[in-house]
Structure 1
Amino acid sequence: MKRVMLPLIHRRGSRSHVTCEYRCGNACDKPVPNKSDNKYLGDIIQSALSRRNLLKGSAAGALVLSTGSMLAGATTAAADSTGNGAAKHGGGGGGGGFKLNSLKFDTVPPNSDDKLTVPKGFQQAVIVAWGDPIVPGAPAFNLDAQTPKAQEGQFGYNCDYVAVMPLDKDWSHERALLVVNNEYTNENNMFDGWTTGAAATVDQLKIAQAAHGLSVVEIERVGRTGRWAQRKKGSRRYNRRITATTKIQVTGPAAGHALLKTAADPSGRWVKGTIGNCSGGTTPYGTTLHGEENFNGYFEASGPVNSAYEAAFKRYGLPLAVNAGRSWARVDERWDVAKNPNEANRFGWIVELDPYDADAAPRKRTMLGRMKHEGATTTLSEDGHLVAYTGDDERFDYLYKFVSRDKYRRGHSRRDREHNLSLLDRGTLYVARFLDEQPGDTEYDGIGEWIPLTSDKESYVDGFTVAEVLINTRLAADTVGPTKMDRPEDVERNPVNGSVYIACTNNTARTPAQVDEANPRPANKDGHIIELDEAGGDAASDLFRWRIFLVCGDPTDPSTYFGGYDKTKVSPISCPDNVAFDKSGNLWISTDGNTLGSNDGFFAVPTKGAERGHVKQFLTVPAEAETCGPWITDDQRTAIVAVQHPGEGGTVAEPTSHWPFGGVPRPSVACVWKD
């Protein structure tokens, strides 16, 4: 992207105030948690480029090659990318006919309709909705008869990340497991007459807790179409709910540390529940990863908090004085940090789930650090090490990468399985620094480095032990000078050429003085996407080259950029959030908080060739909803999206959306396919 002067832009998007309150505690209206004085890219002097041999050796040689040369070496590593399952499952089945990766669809125009709008010639249907029974014996949805026990067996509330894990031994794409994050609840649309948690019944609070977490649902193809539906026959032995009270194991170097111990769990190795699960990822060995994001909003304080926790609590946005939160402490005092400060340290992790084993406890993998994880997506390095990328979804926070100590085993024995299930417990955690390759040049691009924070055996941050780096990752990262980003959210690796794409959703707090090349726009209300190539095409490299791929917004706005494509021919896009790839390497983008007067949507854009940067809108979601997921099935016949918080600004008595079945809105996972 050529450098231009990018203007100051108004900060507010289309998100409902209710969305901001329930999801992130109105984070944008509060002071930025990152008060570190690490420099912005524009302040870094040229001599920094010599750090850690950046300008010498074979790795640097790879960096100064052209982008095309780097991509040639990236293809092999990308063959095992599992960010959206496209390369992982082999891609058989499906036969001929229309394929989504052709991108041959009529663009859906911006709109504010209360429906899921899809291109001409396509159909859509709900696969599963909030309250649908998924565990055998669970009752049908009844808004007026909700109970904690019923919700524990029903599909959870707001649905974010979606994974489709195959059950077919012959890759025929007829049966699969749908694994979904249920991120948070909006009680206004769950309980008639809801006012606050303080005025709620204990049962209502328990229902809300049961609606959080994860849902695993067996699904099947409907006939020979691209439609998928919940499997009604059979044992449904895989279906399960993970909630805010499910027993979860803590693993990795921080497990058992004093900061994770509580009176209820003196071992520091078992946590009740997972919350705030936003995006996620899959692994080559068939597990799913789930990022605990806005966990801080669930904690409250009945009085002042121990001063020893002040620095960490401020950095993570946790309360230090009397704060009501969601009033969950009325159910369990562990949510009161004045009485149980360590409980907050037990959230903010990546949770790994084995969807194929309904009896296996989920695991919080401490080696990936504690932050507001948007998710974690994995790939394999050139020599077989597992690599996981994750963003810390906060204004001015950082991009991270984990590289396993041990190598992935491709075998299918029990021993191979156990080995692979330990990969996320040992390795090295890095944080990213983006550098201007040549200060004063005319492009928004550069080189960068992954700065090591800790291995499973040795901390690389002065004054922090291994466990302290992992528990207070933000504080540790602040000391080594990574680049402050505009809410780095989903990170995915292209299965065709190995490039890594980082969705930076927005950051309206960035001032002109804080602009740098990797975050080129002040008051960035519409977000942007960065394209990153690891040195030598190896995901385990500690060096990379980067460039701006998209600067989102109204195409008529001079500050926008669409990969060099003609801006008069693209769809307007705002606030990129979750991303996925199809098998041709086209990037699919879901949005959250569209500022351009339209509902949020789902977009496709080629990343190479003459069409590079040609953004096309594939669908829009209903009123006040956010587009989540997303997933393109391996046979390229079906797009699956999670429609989160439709009608978020309404109430049971006065709904502002009636999607999908009339009456109160119900967050749902839907599929779209060609007629």
Structure 2
Amino acid sequence: MTRGFPMSDFEAEDLRKRSLSSDNTLEGMIDAQLSRRGFLVGAGAVAATAAATSMVTFGVPTEAQAATGFTAVAETTADTVTVPPGYSFQTLLPWGDSLFEGDAAWGTGAGEVNAGNMTADEQERRIGFNHDMLALFANPFGAPASANGQSHSAYIAVFNHEYTTGSDMFPGYSATTARRNTVDVELAAHGITVAGIRLEGDTWVHDKGMRVGDTPDGALVARRITGTTRFLVDGPAKDDPRLSGPVAGTLNNCAGGFTPWGTYLSAEENFNQYFANASSLPAGTTKDNYRILGMTNGASQRRWEKYHSRFDLAKMPNEGFKFGWIVEVDPFDPTRRPVKHTAIGRFKHECATVVVQYPEGQTKGKVVLYSGDDERFDYVYKFVTDGTFDSANPRAKGHFSLLSSGTLYAAKLNADGTGEWLPLTHANLESKAAGAFADQADICLRTREAGDVVGATPMDRPEDVEAPHTPGTFAGTGKVFVVCTNNSNRGGSANRPTGTVRSGAADAANPRTNNRTGHIVQITENGNDHTSTTFTWQFYLLAGDPKAASGAVGDVKGTFFGDRFGSPDNITFDNRGLLWIATDGTPNSYPCNDQVLCTEVAGNGKVRVKRFLVGPYGCEICGPLFSPDNTTFFCNIQHPGEDGQPSSFPNGQKRPTMVAVRRTDGGIIGN
């Protein structure tokens, strides 16, 4: 989800300081991979037979067992949410709605609050802007199925807010003339929202009075974490001088995850866009790191440095190191301060997907977290904890420090279909580039550079990384899916708008030049063990148009059958094991708004794709998620009508919002 304010999908980034091995970018890797996997001729497309075999092993049914039962939605640019016949949708928890009983309603009537009269204090009590990743936590924690047939009677909904766009929030907005109050409202609209929801009949409702444990004496569920909230910092870099002083706020939260001990994980992504005057810094590792991450040399586009000196690197040169982390929030304990975990590394995180690797017959296992660095030619990571999770006592105190200690790895995908998880430890980095990193804290703060040194594989914007797991226990299956959204620079002479010495050639894992529609890679951990340091990989699909002519100019041929699409962004699995894709950028390739598609491995061994939902004009689809009983599909509609595009969604107003989709008969989605 690499849109930003108001940047392109691919921020400019000067990486001339990065020195990479050419082993990952040899043209010969393409031929090796095509030959090994039996790719279709044209566009580097792979036959999906091998994918089908391994997909079925982790639970994706065959065509005969679970063909999707809905009628595919046609391509559309309508300014609404379009769903199949027999389905309906509702909007829920839009930007600006109050979280607390007794607060003024959102609107333009007397005493109501709207974008024209909003204050920062008001925004801190209201739902933030540009919803992204959603997680639902049964309330009380671990609640059993209720008698009415729904999985749970109450949920704590936690969702983050990627960024604000002043021009879509405030009448007559201009970044260069924005008032202090406008800037402070935007800071308050960032971060994370925690809210209670219930299913009443066939309708989801916002329960402003919900309490933790769903009992009268529990703490109030509703809360906001914003761009000014104070955070704790843990892990190897917690005492590093670059993180000294207050760590205030979380910015540009994009996707995330959740843990079996009941916490929400949020991924800080394009934090570079908030900072100004990087060129004023003296030569050295800080300036080099900021260049690698795309910090602005002059004034930032937002101009927040005008009112908040922490965004001016000339005044506070270390402030940029306080962002780019995985954030953990406990929705069941409002007194527990949110934490930024340095052990997981600092880069443009897109997700934080957790599984547990249990030894056979045991209830304690290591926690494994996967994350992608959402930039063209950056890396896929995983983190393996030192400690173990005990499923018999999920809320144990020790679980809340599991993510503070472990081993961080970057992925190398070889041309022969094998792969390695390369440890980003100080010992390993010293063996390859002595003196390049002072200690493990330095590696955690400069993680991209560490990935460069070990020779990780530069991918085509690795956004979501999901690993299907057993509900409740989080036991992994050994399968991991890496979603590469697109890369318009693949095959060019320079990787990024500002250029780099790295080759941009296509390779085995990224076989398309000018890859504007993206692809999904499937990893199988060795022995189906998520703590393994080796794996095999293959393509799940290459996005595009399966009906396009091979090699057609201006198009790409998809390696599936069914409905065309581009730019897969986030994925989720339903309780039947089917993989669902939400997109961010389909309109750049086809005359259709961004969408959600269901995929399954059909009886002919190829992946079938069916369009399930299309969002309103100018939006991005975020946070796809099913209720545990599969009777509701949730997603977030981010930035409808962004940058002045003509949208009035929902209900005549342009407001980011959550959407809940149900069958009109209350049945299983997609069945």
Determine helix, strand or coil for the equivalent of 2:126.
Answer: coil
Q: CA deviation at 1:163?
A: 0.6
- Correspondence 1:461-610 to 2 at 5 A: 462-463=434-435, 464=437, 465-495=439-469, 497-511=477-491, 514-557=505-548, 558=550, 565=560, 567=561, 570-594=562-586, 595-607=589-601, 609-610=603-604
Given the alignment, which residue of 102, 122, 125 partners 1:153?
A: 125
| Alpha-carbon contact 1:429-1:455 (below 8 Å) kept | no
Question: Which range is displaced more, 495-504 or 454-463?
Answer: 454-463
Determine helix, strand or coil for the equivalent of 1:617.
Answer: strand
Query: 2:323 and 2:368 mapped to 1: Cα distance?
Result: 22
Given the alignment, which residue of 404, 409, 430 partners 1:430?
A: 409
Query: 2:16 and 2:513 mapped to 1: Cα distance?
Result: 18
1:633 to 2:627 alignment: yes
Structure 2 counterpart of 1:123: 88
| 1:422-467 deviations in Å (ceiling 9; x for gaps) | 1111110000000012xxxxxxxx1100000027999776422100
Structure 2 counterpart of 1:622: 616
Q: CA deviation at 1:604?
A: 0.7
- RMSD between aligned residues: 2.8
Structure 1 counterpart of 2:669: none
| 1:240-290 deviations in Å (ceiling 9; x for gaps) | 1100000111111110101212xxx1xxxx410000000111111111111
- Correspondence 1:377-396 to 2 at 5 A: 377-383=353-359, 384-396=365-377
Query: 2:15 and 2:76 mapped to 1: Cα distance?
Result: 33
Q: CA deviation at 1:195?
A: 1.6
Structure 1 counterpart of 2:204: 228
In structure 1, give the amino acid aligned to 2:640.
Answer: P
Q: CA deviation at 1:615?
A: 0.5
1:210 to 2:188 alignment: yes
TM-score normalised by the chain length of structure 1:
0.82
Query: 1:633 and 1:291 mapped to 2: Cα distance?
Result: 22
Q: CA deviation at 1:580?
A: 0.5
1:407 to 2:407 alignment: no
Q: CA deviation at 1:302?
A: 8.5
Query: 2:226 and 2:418 mapped to 1: Cα distance?
Result: 42
Distance 1:479 1:458, change over 3 A: closer
Determine helix, strand or coil for the equivalent of 2:280.
Answer: coil
Determine helix, strand or coil for the equivalent of 1:536.
Answer: helix
1:272 to 2:248 alignment: yes
Structure 2 counterpart of 1:673: 662
Q: CA deviation at 1:24?
A: 4.9
Query: 1:302 and 1:179 mapped to 2: Cα distance?
Result: 34
Given the alignment, which residue of 307, 312, 332 partners 2:289?
A: 312
Determine helix, strand or coil for the equivalent of 2:267.
Answer: strand
Distance 1:456 1:128, change over 3 A: farther
Q: CA deviation at 1:301?
A: 1.8
Given the alignment, which residue of 158, 164, 172 partners 2:136?
A: 164
Q: CA deviation at 1:527?
A: 0.5
Query: 1:113 and 1:316 mapped to 2: Cα distance?
Result: 37
TM-score normalised by the chain length of structure 2:
0.82
Determine helix, strand or coil for the equivalent of 2:137.
Answer: strand
Query: 1:24 and 1:350 mapped to 2: Cα distance?
Result: 23
Question: Which range is displaced more, 522-531 or 331-340?
Answer: 331-340
In structure 2, give the amino acid aligned to 1:514.
Answer: A
Structure 1 counterpart of 2:215: none
Q: CA deviation at 1:577?
A: 0.3
1:448 to 2:448 alignment: no
Question: Which range is displaced more, 126-135 or 21-30?
Answer: 21-30
Structure 2 counterpart of 1:43: 26
- Correspondence 1:176-215 to 2 at 5 A: 176-196=155-175, 198-215=176-193
Query: 1:299 and 1:129 mapped to 2: Cα distance?
Result: 28
| 1:105-154 deviations in Å (ceiling 9; x for gaps) | 11011100000001111010011100000134543222322111110000
In structure 2, give the amino acid aligned to 1:510.
Answer: R
Structure 2 counterpart of 1:94: none
Question: Which range is displaced more, 490-499 or 452-461?
Answer: 452-461
| Alpha-carbon contact 1:646-1:657 (below 8 Å) kept | yes
In structure 2, give the amino acid aligned to 1:158.
Answer: N
Determine helix, strand or coil for the equivalent of 2:424.
Answer: strand
Q: CA deviation at 1:174?
A: 1.7
Query: Any gaps of 5 or more consecutive residues in structure 1?
Result: 1-14, 50-65, 80-100, 438-445
| Alpha-carbon contact 1:301-1:323 (below 8 Å) kept | yes
Query: Any gaps of 5 or more consecutive residues in structure 2?
Result: 33-49, 61-65, 107-113, 147-151, 212-218, 360-364, 471-476, 493-503, 665-671
Question: Which range is displaced more, 27-36 or 210-219?
Answer: 27-36
Query: 1:542 and 1:455 mapped to 2: Cα distance?
Result: 17
Structure 2 counterpart of 1:421: 400
Query: 2:558 and 2:468 mapped to 1: Cα distance?
Result: 18
Structure 1 counterpart of 2:43: none
Distance 1:619 1:34, change over 3 A: farther
| 1:322-345 deviations in Å (ceiling 9; x for gaps) | 223312122321111111111000
Determine helix, strand or coil for the equivalent of 2:508.
Answer: coil
Structure 2 counterpart of 1:96: none
Query: 1:611 and 1:241 mapped to 2: Cα distance?
Result: 46
| Alpha-carbon contact 2:597-2:610 (below 8 Å) kept | yes
Query: 1:596 and 1:434 mapped to 2: Cα distance?
Result: 30
Determine helix, strand or coil for the equivalent of 1:143.
Answer: coil
In structure 2, give the amino acid aligned to 1:671.
Answer: A
Query: 1:102 and 1:456 mapped to 2: Cα distance?
Result: 50
In structure 2, give the amino acid aligned to 1:120.
Answer: P
Determine helix, strand or coil for the equivalent of 2:608.
Answer: coil
Distance 1:189 1:505, change over 3 A: same
Given the alignment, which residue of 222, 228, 233 partners 1:245?
A: 228
| 1:614-654 deviations in Å (ceiling 9; x for gaps) | 0111100000000000101110001000000001031xxxx
| Alpha-carbon contact 2:14-2:294 (below 8 Å) kept | no
In structure 2, give the amino acid aligned to 1:161.
Answer: M
Distance 1:40 1:667, change over 3 A: farther
Query: 2:634 and 2:617 mapped to 1: Cα distance?
Result: 19
Distance 1:69 1:124, change over 3 A: closer
Q: CA deviation at 1:229?
A: 2.1
